[in-house]
Structure 1
Amino acid sequence: MTIIRFRSRDGQFRLNCEANTPFSELLNELVLTKLPPIDTSSLVVKFPGPGLKTGPQYNAHEIADNTVEQLGLKNGDMLMLEYSKSEQPAGVSISGTVAINASSTGLSKPKEPTNRTQSKLDDELDKDPGLIPRKRGNLCRHNDKGMCEYCSPLPPWDREYQADNNIKHISFHAYVDELNSSTNKEGGSSYIAPLQESDFAINLRCPSGHEPWPKGICSKCQPSAITLQRQEYRMVDHVEFSNSEMVNNFIHTWRMSGLQRIGLLLGKYERYEKIPLGIKAEVHSIYEFPQIDQDDGLVLQEWEDEDKVVGLCNELGLEPVGIVFTDLSDAGKGDGSVICKRHSGSFFMSSIEVLFAVQWQIKYSNKCKWSESGKFSSKFVTCVISGNVNGEIEVNAYQASEAAEGLYKADLICPSTHPDQMFVKETTDKRYVPDIFYTKKNEYGVQVKENAKPSFPVEYLLVSLTHGFPESNDKSLFVESNFPIENRGYLGESQNLSSLYRQLETAFGSNVDYNDYDKVCNELSNWHLLFYLVRETHVLNSEEVSLLLKSVATKDKDIISRLLMSPGWQSLALVSRG
């Protein structure tokens, strides 16, 4: 996504585009939605030159057929517009594309952007008002069919409902609806994007005419002071592990070796009905990265199979939704209890872990039509498996805040030696660090501002989520089995054709009898087995792989039968026996 800025006597505008977008599309969008009625034949575009000088200028019709890339435009470039106004709104044509001025159609502008893409789930939640129903109460004076202020539905962002139901954060879509209720009121004629990504970096291409930082600075290019507050919304409300065996198998590596482990959560995002307009991350399996495990941490190695893992996920209708890692130490009591390291008196996620989560969230950013840039924060979650105050192994789920992403992108923060503190970097020739504050209640219960330099509590960049398991395993796409999990060679577990046949033999008997289709499908529905079959053996062709994945996804007996009768599967069974 590229943002091109335009400055004119009627204001400054920002348009989103791609490198291959025809420049005529941007010009027509300007004429249609941004500028007053103009004479399009007089429209002149001035390009930026070296330094702070103005570059070449062209009539709009001369460059309209070129793409953004062909014109050499980059993200953030500022173009100057000159034109003559027209008293009569009329149709205009730039490079053969006819745009009709909005005022001449008699129609108001759309109440939401129509040229942005996002997930189907987000589109579904956008259409849902998310009203919270209320029953008739003691103050109601009407019959059963009536409604009054005491029983009418509440908006999904209602603060009293949030407090009464102990909801710490409202859902993201409830937050967007609340912003839209004030910025884009119903019946209004204009649209204002309610969301804007945090940008705390200094503008090195200031339009004021002075030299860039560090030689010059002004109020236009200098970022404003930052006040950190606990984020009131969360992009994802709940993390749901489809079965407990998946988590136990992941923890098993620590039980066997005493070393920590990290994995990628594979699943999908669904509605979460317990929160108005809520979203949950459904986790169906855990892929374990190539890594060097240690007793007090781990080292991630080069992930050569990333494209293979993500590709197989997409074919199964899944995607990476988060990461999970362990921080476990045996209590030495001989009863299986573990040490509680993370609590309100220490930390829940260390500063280095928060920045690690930020890097993943930026990698898997969230497409959002309500943001100026077309994306906003991330739905990617981070789960920590550690000991609780009772010495029990427990999962906790978090996300880094959107402000944390902005601070990281601007290179303003780094981890500190104290895990509960985030360090603020110092200003240099290449980095300007604005004033940063955070709010807290003092000993008298009064809200006060504190200077965040040199460090501040990491909890201001953290959002906690709930987690749990479904009431039944019917929704689980995969089942756990004894097939070896990837990248566990140091535990003596390896994926090969022998282990594949051992799994088939254990499941179906020495004759590999496939008559029980339900059992066959159940035994094949294991992520680690599927990944090895599809991406490592290369025995099945593309059609047979498609049959395999469809059989797992649909549990259709006809598809399973076609798979088992295919030449590739027969060859696989033969090779496995060898």
Structure 2
Amino acid sequence: MASIILRFRSKDGMFRINTSSDSDFVSVLEQLLTKLSSAVNSQSLLLSNSPSQKGEPAKGYCGKTVQELGLKNGDMLFVSYETAIDPNAVPTSTPTVPITTTNLGPTKVQELPIDIALDKQEGLIARPLSSMCRHGARGMCEYCAPLPPWDENYRSEHAIKHISFHAYLKQQAEKHKNNGGSYIAPLEEPDYKIDLHCQQGHQPYPKGICSKCQPSPITLQQQKFRMVDHVEFADSSILNEFLNGWRSTGVQRFGYLYGRYEAFDKVPLGIKAVVESIYEPPQVGEFDGVTLLNWDDEQQIDAIASKLGLTKVGIAYTDLTDSGRKDGTVLCKRHKDSYFLTNLECIMAARFQHKYPNVTKYTSSGKFSSKFVTCVVSGGLLGEIEPRSYQVSTGAEALVEADIITGCTQPSMVYVNENSSTRYVPDIQYSKINEYGLEVKSNAKPTFPVDFLLVSLTDSFPVDPTPMFTSEYHYTIENREFMGDVQDLSTVYKYLNGGDYEVRKAKLCNFHFLCHLARLNILGPQEMESIFKFIVDKNEDDYIRLVESPGWMSLITILEENK
């Protein structure tokens, strides 16, 4: 008999079973049970022809062939069952995240405070009365009614290139508002990976493939929203200290941006990353790049930052070449006619964004893209040194995660990989507006422009800076031994020695000093906690408690002996 396919739909998904018309239905059930949840109670299995019917017990179908049951190729049966409860199972305290697209409500996750605050705001853009209004001061009409935070005309008038993440989120939620009463997560991360464990009745890829396991064709467009709108360096000295590594040696430097996320009022429902310090991990700088080394104390530095309410918000690296004119200018290598980020830098940014995902309750997975930014310090059009901040799109993250793209010899282009035993590359096109204002699509294979993966951010320094850490007193930067800058006990002694009471207090507020002090392991947890509280709250009692503690006195004694 010819082989046929029967389809079964359950709360675990839809499955396809390969069988033949003269096969006993028992063999079909045996295949089905291997695809359903391991917690299924086989005695409670019910089958029906309609999702609205309760169905008949599956055991009543046994002993009959598929043909005798009147089932034909492509027929669908609806499956329902009860879950078998394991009395020895230990309940977990962590709630599981549902994978279905229709849930009772948003996923329960711990979002960042900025996301919780912006989620409560409508973000409507207020408009004043205009000459077209024909009503009183308390009235409202189409000419003065508030605009939604994603309004395109407002963006174009105020030169806002991308809408903010929360504006985009509310725009998507508006589209899903009328969904028959069931909740549909407004956000969904793109996934371009092929399912290597597809259970639709065929052999795994590359021996078999179907529409369920293969990714859909991809059309790349420049992303209309951005997860972070602005990067603000809390003080100009933060960037200047970072640049001194290049100024002294001519080799490039790499650092992690430690800061926090705050509201950005220049964009409706906007977010800015406020950078309080740049920490330089172990690295080997070269004239045209940086090689990162193992960073053994990364978790310790992250823990220190966390105590101060900070986290990694991005990375920064230099790409500077002196102009040779001996006037402090540098070459401008990154512009609209060359590139802003190279293909390898885009892939690096995507990997960092995937490593530090953005937590949100508005996806079934509990995460969506990332707030992690990439800042490259390079030369401007006038030869000045300037930071430029970027992110890559959610599509770029998915392409890198699926191993679909890689770098090529032309830095402004991205190469599309070939199919392999673990990688399926779907059709990829990119859409752009031509010189006649028309949208046209081009084949992305074998290469396509990097620009379709980039999202640009703005950056600046505050007019009235109020940094968390002191900018007046410099401490030796970590991992700069190649410059002759070494952090040791004598470095701590020289830094703390001298100055009046207020100076000694101010010197505590230095992230590089704090990290070195923690790595010495001389102060105990209580003394370190007093420093953290003093830096955050600026409470005099915490400082007095610290300098009068036995641990601090031991530190001073050790420093005197090793000065």
The TM-score with structure 2 as length reference comes to 0.83
Provide the C-alpha distance between the structure 1 equivalents of 2:374 and 2:193, rounded to a whole number of angstroms: 26
User: CA-to-partner distance for each residue in 1:70-103, whole Å, 9 max, x for gaps?
Assistant: xxxx99999xxxxxxxxxxxxxxxxxxxxxxxxx
Is 1:179–2:172 an aligned residue pair? Answer: yes
The percentage of counterpart residues that share the same residue type is: 46
Q: Which residue of structure 1 aligns with residue 13 of structure 2? A: 12
User: Deviation at 1:359?
Assistant: 1.1
The runs of at least 4 aligned residues of structure 1 exceeding 4 Å deviation read: 35-44, 74-78
Alignment counterpart, residue 66 of structure 1, candidates 89, 103, 107: 89
Q: Kindly indicate whether the alpha-carbon contact (under 8 Å) linking 1:266 and 1:284 is maintained by their aligned counterparts in 2.
A: yes
Alignment counterpart, residue 451 of structure 1, candidates 443, 446, 466: 443
Q: RMSD across aligned C-alpha pairs, in angstroms? A: 3.0
Q: Which residue of structure 2 aligns with residue 156 of structure 1? A: 149
The letter of the residue matching 1:357 is A
Q: Which residue of structure 2 aligns with residue 244 of structure 1? A: 236
Q: Which residue of structure 1 aligns with residue 342 of structure 2? A: 350
Q: Which residue of structure 2 aligns with residue 568 of structure 1? A: 551
Mind listing any 5+ residue stretches in structure 1 that lack a counterpart? 1-6, 14-21, 25-34, 45-56, 79-107
User: Deviation at 1:475?
Assistant: 4.4
The letter of the residue matching 1:529 is F
User: CA-to-partner distance for each residue in 1:206-226, whole Å, 9 max, x for gaps?
Assistant: 332011111111222221110
Provide the C-alpha distance between the structure 1 equivalents of 2:301 and 2:292, rounded to a whole number of angstroms: 16
Is 1:167–2:160 an aligned residue pair? Answer: yes
Q: Name the CA shift for 1:43/1:175 in 2 (closer, same or farther; >3 Å).
A: farther
Q: Which residue of structure 1 aligns with residue 529 of structure 2? A: 546
Provide the C-alpha distance between the structure 2 equivalents of 1:541 and 1:43, rounded to a whole number of angstroms: 66
Q: Kindly indicate whether the alpha-carbon contact (under 8 Å) linking 1:23 and 1:63 is maintained by their aligned counterparts in 2.
A: no
User: Deviation at 1:12?
Assistant: 3.4
Larger radius of gyration: 2
The letter of the residue matching 1:12 is G
Q: Name the CA shift for 1:538/1:109 in 2 (closer, same or farther; >3 Å).
A: closer
Provide the C-alpha distance between the structure 2 equivalents of 1:75 and 1:272, rounded to a whole number of angstroms: 31
Q: Name the CA shift for 1:152/1:442 in 2 (closer, same or farther; >3 Å).
A: closer
Other structure's SS at 1:385 match: strand
Q: Which residue of structure 1 aligns with residue 305 of structure 2? A: 313
Q: Which residue of structure 1 aligns with residue 510 of structure 2? A: 526
Provide the C-alpha distance between the structure 1 equivalents of 2:294 and 2:467, rounded to a whole number of angstroms: 33
User: CA-to-partner distance for each residue in 1:433-473, whole Å, 9 max, x for gaps?
Assistant: 00000012334332110000011000111100000111212
Q: Which residue of structure 2 aligns with residue 390 of structure 1? A: 382
Alignment counterpart, residue 428 of structure 2, candidates 431, 436, 440: 436
User: CA-to-partner distance for each residue in 1:316-336, whole Å, 9 max, x for gaps?
Assistant: 111000000000000000101
The letter of the residue matching 1:236 is V
Provide the C-alpha distance between the structure 2 equivalents of 1:40 and 1:317, rounded to a whole number of angstroms: 56
Q: Which residue of structure 2 aligns with residue 205 of structure 1? A: 197
Other structure's SS at 2:183 match: coil
Q: Name the CA shift for 1:328/1:130 in 2 (closer, same or farther; >3 Å).
A: same
Q: Kindly indicate whether the alpha-carbon contact (under 8 Å) linking 1:23 and 1:66 is maintained by their aligned counterparts in 2.
A: no
Alignment counterpart, residue 371 of structure 2, candidates 379, 382, 405: 379
Provide the C-alpha distance between the structure 1 equivalents of 2:87 and 2:120, rounded to a whole number of angstroms: 36
Other structure's SS at 2:312 match: strand
The TM-score with structure 1 as length reference comes to 0.81
Counterparts of 1:20-169 in structure 2 under 5 Å? 60-63=83-86, 66=89, 112-113=105-106, 115-169=108-162
User: CA-to-partner distance for each residue in 1:153-193, whole Å, 9 max, x for gaps?
Assistant: 111011111111111000001001001001124x9511111
The letter of the residue matching 2:139 is G
Provide the C-alpha distance between the structure 2 equivalents of 1:145 and 1:279, rounded to a whole number of angstroms: 32
Q: Name the CA shift for 1:68/1:76 in 2 (closer, same or farther; >3 Å).
A: farther
Other structure's SS at 1:440 match: strand
User: CA-to-partner distance for each residue in 1:334-371, whole Å, 9 max, x for gaps?
Assistant: 10110000000000000001111111111111111111
118-127 or 223-232: bigger deviation: 118-127
Is 1:214–2:198 an aligned residue pair? Answer: no
Provide the C-alpha distance between the structure 1 equivalents of 2:87 and 2:176, rounded to a whole number of angstroms: 33
Q: Kindly indicate whether the alpha-carbon contact (under 8 Å) linking 1:23 and 1:67 is maintained by their aligned counterparts in 2.
A: no
Provide the C-alpha distance between the structure 2 equivalents of 1:120 and 1:426, rounded to a whole number of angstroms: 43
User: CA-to-partner distance for each residue in 1:513-540, whole Å, 9 max, x for gaps?
Assistant: 53x3xx3331110000011112x22111
Is 1:558–2:541 an aligned residue pair? Answer: yes
Q: Name the CA shift for 1:223/1:67 in 2 (closer, same or farther; >3 Å).
A: farther
Q: Which residue of structure 2 aligns with residue 83 of structure 1? A: none
Q: Name the CA shift for 1:67/1:411 in 2 (closer, same or farther; >3 Å).
A: farther
Q: Name the CA shift for 1:565/1:11 in 2 (closer, same or farther; >3 Å).
A: closer
User: Deviation at 1:568?
Assistant: 1.1
Provide the C-alpha distance between the structure 2 equivalents of 1:292 and 1:326, rounded to a whole number of angstroms: 13
Provide the C-alpha distance between the structure 2 equivalents of 1:568 and 1:500, rounded to a whole number of angstroms: 15
